[in-house]
C-alpha cells in the first residue's frame, strides 16, 4: 500500500433500501472517484450491492459478522456468507455493537480472524467514550482495544484497517478537532510500531465520526489519517462522492509533496 492512497468507507447502519441502493449506484456508475472506496450495507442489501455496484469503482461490505464459522446461531450471519456476496470489507467492533450488543474485545478479535480467513478486509473500530476521555483514559482504551487484535493476529495486522472513532463524535455533527485526530492517530501508529512485527506504515488508520463534505479535507490533510469511515453522510450519494473527491485531492497533494 502506498502511503498516499486514502480509503473512504460508507456505513449505512440500519438505513437504506433496494431502491436507495439502486439510486446510489446510478450516481457512481462510470464515475472516476480517485480513491479506494466502499459501502457497507445491511446484510439484506449485500446481494443487491453485488450487482448494483459492479459498474462502479465502489466495493461493498457488511457491518458485522458472527464470531462463529457456522452452526446453530439463529439470526447470525457468518463471514463466509458475506464473502459469497463478493464483499471486500466487514466492519468489526463498531461502537454501536460494542455498546448496544455488549460485544467484548475477545469477540471482536474472533470476528477479525473470521473475516480474514474468508479473504476480506476487517475494518476494526476503536475509540473512547466522552467519560473515558474526561477521565484521561483515552490512550489506555485505545491500547487495550488495539492489543487484543494485535495479539489475536500473532502481531501482524497488515491486512486490517483500523478506524479511530471517538464515541462522542459519532452521529453528533460534532467532529473531533483535527489536532485531536492527529494525536490519536499518532498514538495508534506508535502502538502498532511498538507491538506488531512491522511498522505502522503498512496499516491504514482511518478516522470516523461526523465526517461530512464540509470537514473532510481538513481531516484528510492531517498526518497519519489514511481515510474515513462515514456514517450519516454516506446516505446521500453526492455527499459521499464529495468526500471521496476530497480524499483523491489530498492523495494527489501528498504524492506531489513526496515527489518534490
Ligand atoms: P457518522 O457515523 O459519520 O454518522 O458520525 C460514523 C460511524 O458510526 O461509522
Angle at 118 between CA 113 and CA 124, to 5 degrees: 45
Residue (of 133, 135, 231, 122) closest to 187 by Cα position: 133
pLDDT tens for each residue of 26-63: 999 999 999 999 999 999 999 999 999 999 999 999 99
Known catalytic residue at 155: no
- Cα–Cα distances (Å) from 93 to 56, 89, 212, in that order, read 28, 13, 22
What domains are defined for the chain? 7-69+76-254 (3.20.20.70)
Q: DSSP alpha helices (H): ranges in 46-177?
A: 46-52, 79-84, 95-100, 105-117, 130-134, 138-152
Mean pLDDT, range 148-168, rounded to an integer: 97
Residue 11 and residue 121: Cα distance in Å, rounded? Answer: 15
Torsion angle, CA of 43/162/169/39, rounded to 10 degrees?
-30
* Whether 67 contacts 105, CB under 8 Å: no
Catalytic residue among 165, 182, 185, 245: 165
Residue whose Cα lies nearest atom 1 of ligand 1: it is: 231
Q: Is the pLDDT of residue 14 over 90?
A: yes
Mean pLDDT, range 243-249, rounded to an integer: 97
With a 6 Å cutoff on the Cβ, whether 87 touches ligand 1 is: no
Known catalytic residue at 201: no
The band of 230, judged by pLDDT with boundaries at 50, 70 and 90, is very high
With a 6 Å cutoff on the Cβ, whether 234 touches ligand 1 is: no
Strand-pairing partners, residue 228, are 8, 207
Q: Is the pLDDT of residue 2 over 70?
A: no
Q: Is the pLDDT of residue 1 over 90?
A: no
Q: DSSP alpha helices (H): ranges in the chain?
A: 18-28, 46-52, 79-84, 95-100, 105-117, 130-134, 138-152, 178-195, 216-220, 237-259
- The whole-number pLDDT of residue 192 equals 98
Centroid of ligand 1 to alpha carbon of 74 (angstroms)? 28
Ligand 1 nearest-atom number relative to CA 233:
3
With a 6 Å cutoff on the Cβ, whether 251 touches ligand 1 is: no
Residue whose Cα lies nearest atom 2 of ligand 1: it is: 231
With a 6 Å cutoff on the Cβ, whether 175 touches ligand 1 is: no
Centroid of ligand 1 to alpha carbon of 231 (angstroms)? 4
pLDDT tens for each residue of 196-227: 999 999 899 999 999 999 999 999 999 899 99
Centroid of ligand 1 to alpha carbon of 128 (angstroms)? 14
Residue 251 and residue 58: Cα distance in Å, rounded? Answer: 17
The band of 259, judged by pLDDT with boundaries at 50, 70 and 90, is confident
Residue whose Cα lies nearest atom 7 of ligand 1: it is: 231
Amino acid at each position: 500500500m502506498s502511503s498516499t492512497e486514502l480509503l473512504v468507507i460508507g456505513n449505512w447502519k440500519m438505513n437504506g433500501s433496494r431502491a436507495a441502493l439502486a439510486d446510489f449506484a446510478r450516481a457512481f456508475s462510470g464515475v472516476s472517484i480517485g480513491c479506494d472506496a466502499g459501502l457497507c450495507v445491511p446484510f439484506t442489501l449485500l446481494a443487491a450491492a453485488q450487482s448494483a455496484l459492479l459498474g462502479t469503482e465502489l466495493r461493498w461490505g457488511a457491518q458485522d459478522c458472527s464470531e462463529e464459522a457456522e452452526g446453530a446461531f439463529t439470526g447470525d450471519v457468518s463471514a463466509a456468507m458475506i464473502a459469497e456476496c463478493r464483499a471486500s470489507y466487514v466492519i468489526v467492533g463498531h461502537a454501536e455493537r460494542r455498546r448496544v450488543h455488549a460485544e467484548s474485545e475477545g469477540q471482536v478479535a474472533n470476528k477479525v480472524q473470521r473475516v480474514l480467513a474468508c479473504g476480506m478486509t476487517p475494518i476494526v473500530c476503536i475509540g473512547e467514550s466522552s467519560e473515558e476521555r474526561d477521565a484521561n483514559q483515552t490512550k489506555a482504551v485505545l491500547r487495550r482495544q488495539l492489543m487484543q487484535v494485535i495479539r489475536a493476529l500473532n502481531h501482524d495486522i497488515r491486512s486490517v484497517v483500523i478506524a479511530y472513532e471517538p464515541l462522542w463524535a459519532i452521529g453528533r455533527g460534532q467532529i473531533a478537532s483535527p489536532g485531536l485526530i492527529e494525536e490519536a492517530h499518532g498514538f495508534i501508529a506508535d502502538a502498532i510500531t511498538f507491538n506488531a512485527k512491522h511498522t505502522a506504515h503498512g496499516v491504514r488508520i482511518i478516522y470516523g465520526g461526523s465526517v461530512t463534505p464540509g470537514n473532510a479535507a481538513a481531516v484528510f490533510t492531517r498526518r497519519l489519517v489514511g481515510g474515513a469511515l462515514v456514517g450519516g453522510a454516506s446516505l446521500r450519494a453526492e455527499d459521499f462522492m464529495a468526500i471521496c473527491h476530497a480524499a483523491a485531492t489530498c492523495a494527489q497533494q501528498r504524492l506531489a509533496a513526496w515527489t518534490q
